[in-house]
Copies of this chain bind each other. A is one copy, B any other.
Amino acid sequence: MRRMKTALRTHHCGELRTTDINKEVSLCGWIHKTRKLGGATFIDLRDRYGITQLVFLGDDENSNTLLQEGFSREMVIRATGTVIERESKNKNLSTGDIEIKLKNVEVLNKALTPPFTIEDDTDGGDELRMKYRYLDLRRNAVRKNLELRHRMAIETRNFLDKQNFLEVETPVLIKSTPEGARDFVVPSRMNGGQFYALPQSPQTFKQLLMVSGFDRYYQIVKCFRDEDLRADRQPEFTQIDCEMSFVEQEDILNTFEGLVKHLFKTVKGLDIPEIPRMTYADAMKYFGNDKPDTRFEMKLVEMNAVVAGKNFKVFDEAELVIAICAKGAAEYTRKQLDELTEWVKRPQIGATGLVYAKHNTDGTIKSSVDKFYNEEDLKKWSDTCGSQPGDLILILAGKEDKTRKAMSELRLEMGNRLGLRDKNKFSCLWVIDFPLLEWNEGDPNLLASLAGRWHAKHHPFTSPKPEDIALLNTSPGDVRANAYDIVINGVEVGGGSIRIHNKELQAKMFEVLGFSSEEAQKQFGFLMNAFEFGAPPHGGIAFGFDRLCSLFGGAESIRDFIAFPKNNSGRDVMIDAPSEISEEQLNELSIALRQK
């Protein structure tokens, strides 16, 4: 920490120790608190680096004059005085052994009373904190998140630099390619009637850099997606974006497993074990989810064969009957089970009911459908689910997709209720062999004109597995991709694929996605042409940096890991953006507002 000394201060507020006693010092910062004790006045002075106690002992004629001014919370001052030993030391402060006996205080700026308290647990609501984000950022807890983010970025760059990755900045003003999510667009003044788009990712540019022979590229880069926002989405977000040449999937998994381990080690001090791999098919089968939280087991078990033929129509007529075994939950009360039944029937979960079987500690098994299943039947349930005395079996039944999804939610909920999702414990997983395509029934985040077509699950540049290419013509939905996600604690923090590097295959892919060859050429001709000039085999990955930081910080929402986030309507309520612009500006840009 060189050069922390400036014209206005000799030290910062987290720096002074008993070895500094008797030094004359000047500190600058914000008044965090003041209190009087006998004749003395104490001030806690705060800056980014800590808090130092200042004191007017009341034995100096200066004191009274200075105190007359009155010190208010969050006022900015420059304090000059002598470091003295503190009578009652504060073990919770790094500077708790000393205090500053004040000679002079200069008020650098006054402060109105903040609309909420500048404490870790503030009394400010979300809306108020966002309006005064510059005050919210004064809170230790929020600033620490952004310090973590800084450290994550530095360590990411150091790791990748050592592995010979080059950070290359790709353009922000690019071309609209409306086959993905919606683009944000920028009208061009110099090319009236034409628009740039902001990148949803630097995908095509990083592939071109591979064609250029850059071999290893990365960038920590802002990306943009004009989506209807959910709580944890932002219209602008940051990616760690990477690409490598002359690799197979295995190289990428190994390299970026290295990055993840490096970050856990250097930022959190944790050694994480080798990251296991699971196919997409297994993830869906055992967890009902392509991003399973593997901090706990509680796998989904298909029960159709076991429960069939006992005249329980709900099970007999169901496409899927599926169970989980909640360890040690057999003592759940009737009230708790009723409440859980209500929980699965909420529209967000969508189950029609919940069947359970208690595997009691005495070895007996008691189900909510004893009318249909006897002790022997239930023993089979237990064997299939692997339940032990003390466990609770929970069963859902219905349409395949919906029921699997509902059970995935129930599994996570039971994980929460049983305390199995400790935010300080980390479980990483590679999910591999994703399907190449999914059918777009009418995704609200895509243009309406794209409904009723195949849609690329990752993106249109993802390579199908060579052995599945033939299926592109016959059953596109069954084609698997050389695509992978990295999942930590049930959160997808990154994903990527081996790319197509051959013009014909890329053209075929656009055809399957419903592009005419003219459209494909118009939008992505530059890339397909590039593939004809010697494109190497290549692949890559992108990490959601906001989410990775929030995960490392042990938080649910990404918002407090972004300095100036937008709200769910895409507004920055602090600066009040977006906003209207002048007729003069619209005119120069050759556009007009449309009357709705």
Residues of A that sit less than 8 Å from B by CB: 1-4, 6-9, 12, 28-30, 46-49, 74-76, 78, 108-112, 114, 132-135, 137-138, 143, 146-147, 149-150, 153-154, 157, 161-164, 166-176, 178, 182-198, 204-205, 208-209, 211-215, 222, 224, 226, 228-229, 235-236, 238, 244-248, 250-251, 254-255, 258, 447-449, 501-502, 526, 530-537, 562-564, 566, 569-572, 574-582, 584-594, 596
Contacts and interface: CB of A to CB of B under 8 A. Distances in A.
B173 A577 contact: yes
B570 A188 contact: yes
Contacts of A592: 591-594
A74 B250 contact: no
Given A176-B581, A195-B580, 10 more contacts: A8-B537, A109-B535, A137-B214, A172-B172, A184-B186, A185-B186, A187-B187, A209-B563, A447-B584, A586-B594
Given A246-B28, A535-B109, A570-B191, A166 B138 contact: no
Nearest to A235: B173
A576 B171 CA distance: 13
A110 B501 CA distance: 11
13 contacts: A2-B162, A7-B250, A78-B246, A109-B501, A134-B211, A134-B530, A135-B212, A143-B213, A154-B157, A173-B184, A184-B196, A190-B570, A197-B577
B596 A192 contact: yes
A521 B236 CA distance: 27
Contact of A74 (B154, B236, B534, B581): B534
A222 B28 contact: no
B30 A575 contact: no
A48 B146 contact: no
Contact of A76 (B255, B535, B562): B535
A265 B567 CA distance: 45
B6 A577 contact: no
A584 to B, nearest CB: 6
A120 to B, nearest CB: 15
A194 B579 contact: yes
Contacts of A204: 575
A533 B236 contact: no
B575 A138 contact: no
A171 B137 contact: no
B108 A537 contact: yes
Contacts of A535: 76, 109
Contacts of A48: 213-215
A175 B74 contact: no
A187 B190 contact: no
Contacts of A135: 212, 533
A157 B161 CA distance: 12
Nearest to A565: B171
A167 B137 CA distance: 14
A134 B208 contact: yes
Nearest to A113: B533
A593 B593 contact: no
Contacts of A585: 176, 178, 182-183, 185, 447
A174 B584 contact: no
A578 B536 contact: no
B185 A49 contact: no
B178 A1 contact: no
Nearest to A139: B212
Contacts of A110: 532, 534
A89 B378 CA distance: 80
B584 A449 contact: yes
Contact of A502 (B109, B248, B258): B109
B164 A7 contact: no
A182 B588 contact: yes
Contacts of A570: 173, 188, 190-191
A432 to B, nearest CB: 15
Given A246-B28, A582-B178, A168 B191 contact: no
A532 B157 CA distance: 38
A135 to B, nearest CB: 6
A393 B465 CA distance: 76
B213 A47 contact: yes
A198 B245 CA distance: 33
A572 B246 contact: no
B6 A176 contact: no
B537 A171 contact: no
A248 B8 contact: yes
A110 B198 CA distance: 33
Q: 9 nearest interchain CB pairs?
A: A111-B534, A137-B212, A175-B577, A194-B578, A7-B248, A188-B578, A74-B534, A28-B246, A134-B208
Contact of A166 (B146, B164, B562): B146
A178 B449 CA distance: 36
A191 B578 contact: yes
